[in-house]
Structure 1
């Protein structure tokens, strides 16, 4: 069995593979590298075979998105640790060493996220993960280094190793045993929020999630929901609600969901005032899909849910009403962080 497998999910991303695979190969001597292909119709597979013959290829039978794409591929990969890496990630020298050392020394740590900086502006954190993620009471995610539209410059303020609530799927390290114990990502999510759901389920089972600042990667990514497409908005809002049904503590489940749905409605109205009508419609569609899936997801609930899942009551209120836009401004209200 390999110590660590770096697994890059691909769908029609030959240009990204051409640009970013060289850094992965150069700086990943400790790992076996895989490209897990979601039935690409471009030249991805042939390109990898011809230019990077040491890379192993796993072929999925369709474009199943991020969640099922990884679930299917990882059934064929035998390694102690999985590094799930977006195809638009540039890695750095020694990025794997501190991660492996942390897993080896902290047996209860099941999931780790590196420091994720912006490939296009390398002095700043990247939107999708930054220095590790948390939730508020109503399921809204935020990160150290990124709260909604505000992204911080990396001045060394998060050069630590601390516990998180969720780790970014852009570069996501997990023990193989834990991944399969939890039955992987929720395949119905397709993409977006699936890593938060998996982390929440891991915490419910007593595992620890950590951030390691000594491992650094650069991610292209960077689109906020408002800048993205309506499909992304739909998946984010729908999947967040489904995740909450599965994982919220039983006490207050319905009341918390109700408040969240009201807040989603306010977000929809905000989109309308911004002239982003397709995004407002996407939220409405997400809610109707959620209604149809509610009871099926309620049956997915496990016997135990952690009670203290949130770090602040409402990041929406702190950011939009109190105008606290930087993580350090809300740090004293955080209930979750442990070094």
Structure 2
């Protein structure tokens, strides 16, 4: 069994592989590097074989999204630690060392996220993960370093190693034994928030999730599905409701779902006022898709759900009513 496998999920991303594979190869001597290809139709596989013959390739037969793509590929990879890395990530020197040290000294830690900065603006945190993720009691995610679309400059304010609620799928380290115990990502999600769901299920099993500031990567973000894409809105709103259904304690589940759906309605009205009608329609579609998947996902619930301490009751209230723009303002 390998100690650590860096697994890059790729779909028609030959340009990204050209740009970002060099840093992964240069700075990952401890790891075996894999490209898990999600049935690309471009020259991705030919490029890797020609230019990086030491990289191992796992070819999925169909594009199963982030969740299904990794679930399929990781069945063929035998390593103690999986490092799941987006194809638009630039890594830095010694990025793996502090991660491996944390896993070795903290057996209760199952998942780790590095510091994720913006590739285009390298002194700022990046949207997808920043300095570690949390959710409020209604399932809205936020990060240290990122509240909604407000991104903080990295002034060393999060140069700590601390416990977090969720780690970003953009650069996600997990013990393979835990991944297998939890049967990986939920493929009903396809893409978006499946990593938060997996983290929540990990916490419900009694394990910890950590942020490691000494490991630094730079993320482009939005390279596969642009931020303004209505399909991204659909997936985020639907998957958040599925995640709540699966993981909230029974005594709060239905109360939270009702309030959450009302808040989603307000978000839809905000999209209408802003002339973003396709995003409002995406929320409506998300709710109907959720209704169709509710019973299936309710049956996935574990017998015991841990009562979670949320950093804040409502990130919506903290941001829009209290005018909080940074992590410290809204918790």
TM over 0.5: yes
In structure 1, C-alpha distance between the alignment counterparts of 2:228 and 2:86, rounded to whole Å: 17
Runs of 4 or more, structure 1, over 3 Å off, are: none
In structure 2, C-alpha distance between the alignment counterparts of 1:205 and 1:85, rounded to whole Å: 24
Kindly indicate whether the alpha-carbon contact (under 8 Å) linking 2:144 and 2:158 is maintained by their aligned counterparts in 1.
yes
- 1:311 CA displacement: 1.6
Kindly indicate whether the alpha-carbon contact (under 8 Å) linking 1:128 and 1:222 is maintained by their aligned counterparts in 2.
no
Q: Deviations over 1:100-145 (max 9, x none)?
A: 0000000000000000000000000000000000010000000000
The aligned residue for residue 228 of structure 1 is: 228
The aligned residue for residue 273 of structure 1 is: 273
Residue pairs, 1:189-228, within 5 angstroms? 189-221=189-221, 227-228=227-228
- 1:149 CA displacement: 1.2
Kindly indicate whether the alpha-carbon contact (under 8 Å) linking 1:126 and 1:222 is maintained by their aligned counterparts in 2.
no
- 1:308 CA displacement: 1.8
In structure 1, C-alpha distance between the alignment counterparts of 2:3 and 2:66, rounded to whole Å: 23
Asked whether 1:165 is paired with 2:158, we answer no
Kindly indicate whether the alpha-carbon contact (under 8 Å) linking 2:169 and 2:195 is maintained by their aligned counterparts in 1.
yes
Asked whether 1:14 is paired with 2:34, we answer no
In structure 2, C-alpha distance between the alignment counterparts of 1:272 and 1:323, rounded to whole Å: 22
Residue pairs, 1:134-145, within 5 angstroms? 134-145=134-145
Q: Give the secondary structure class of the aligned counterpart of 1:234.
A: helix
The aligned residue for residue 88 of structure 1 is: 88
The aligned residue for residue 174 of structure 1 is: 174
Distance 1:34-1:227 versus aligned 2 partners, 3 A rule = closer
Instruction: Give TM-score, length-normalised by structure 1.
Output: 0.96
In structure 1, C-alpha distance between the alignment counterparts of 2:261 and 2:22, rounded to whole Å: 44
In structure 1, C-alpha distance between the alignment counterparts of 2:278 and 2:263, rounded to whole Å: 18
- List alignment gaps of at least 5 residues for structure 1: 334-339
In structure 2, C-alpha distance between the alignment counterparts of 1:289 and 1:45, rounded to whole Å: 35
Kindly indicate whether the alpha-carbon contact (under 8 Å) linking 1:85 and 1:170 is maintained by their aligned counterparts in 2.
yes
Kindly indicate whether the alpha-carbon contact (under 8 Å) linking 1:269 and 1:280 is maintained by their aligned counterparts in 2.
yes
Kindly indicate whether the alpha-carbon contact (under 8 Å) linking 2:318 and 2:329 is maintained by their aligned counterparts in 1.
no
In structure 2, C-alpha distance between the alignment counterparts of 1:222 and 1:55, rounded to whole Å: 25
Kindly indicate whether the alpha-carbon contact (under 8 Å) linking 1:27 and 1:91 is maintained by their aligned counterparts in 2.
yes
In structure 1, C-alpha distance between the alignment counterparts of 2:163 and 2:243, rounded to whole Å: 21
Kindly indicate whether the alpha-carbon contact (under 8 Å) linking 1:118 and 1:222 is maintained by their aligned counterparts in 2.
no
The aligned residue for residue 116 of structure 2 is: 116
Q: Give the secondary structure class of the aligned counterpart of 1:292.
A: helix
Q: Give the secondary structure class of the aligned counterpart of 2:20.
A: helix
- 1:227 CA displacement: 4.1
Instruction: Give TM-score, length-normalised by structure 2.
Output: 0.98
In structure 1, C-alpha distance between the alignment counterparts of 2:252 and 2:307, rounded to whole Å: 10
- 1:95 CA displacement: 0.1
Asked whether 1:97 is paired with 2:97, we answer yes
In structure 1, C-alpha distance between the alignment counterparts of 2:76 and 2:230, rounded to whole Å: 33
Kindly indicate whether the alpha-carbon contact (under 8 Å) linking 1:8 and 1:35 is maintained by their aligned counterparts in 2.
yes
- List alignment gaps of at least 5 residues for structure 2: none
